[in-house]
Amino acid sequence: MDERLFRRGRLRRFALSAVAIGALILVSAACRIGETGSAAPPPEATSIEVNQTGGFAGAEVRYTVDSTTDNQRRSELLNTVSSPQFQALQDSYTEPNCRDAYSYDVTATYRDGTSKHIVADECGQLPQLLTDVIAGAKEIGHRHNGS
């Protein structure tokens, strides 16, 4: 009989421990949800600069999208480079021994003074988001020939 009470006591302690651990997990998860909701918004882009170099002729062209760009797509493009998806892109998409292809230096500058810089070339597979930003800047940006 004493052994049954001993086992019951151990079982109760085990059950209480399991309940306590479960409660801690729930509290921890709730804290993480709160942290996610209070995270700072992504930085707001103020400009995009795309420097295109290379190709067969060795072109050097710079495209700039900023507050002076008079195009309705400007806001959409600036919002794109402000997105967490753009922020998550790698800093480099280049292939070794890439010749006679265009290279791109893409720089997004943000209101808080930070910037995101990506180097890419046409020899490899670029993320669609990066390709869209380059194409958008080339379509609506101010064009400057040379460096």
**Is residue 67 within a helix (H) or strand (E), and if so which, with residue range?**
none
**What does the block give as tokens for 111?**
């209101």
Can you give the pLDDT at residue 124? 86
CA distances from residue 34 to 22, 26, 31 in whole angstroms, order as listed: 19, 12, 5
Tell me the per-residue pLDDT of 103-146, one tens digit each, with 9 for 90 and over.
Answer: 999 999 999 999 999 999 999 899 999 999 999 999 999 999 97
Tell me the per-residue pLDDT of 36-66, one tens digit each, with 9 for 90 and over.
Answer: 455 777 789 999 999 999 887 788 999 999 9
Residue ranges in 83-127 assigned as alpha helix (H):
84-87
Can you give the pLDDT at residue 110? 97
CA distances from residue 140 to 78, 118, 134 in whole angstroms, order as listed: 12, 20, 10
Q: Is residue 29 pLDDT above 80, yes or no?
A: no
Q: What is the pTM of this model?
A: 0.71
**What does the block give as tokens for 93?**
């998409």
CA–CA separation, 22 and 18 (whole Å): 6
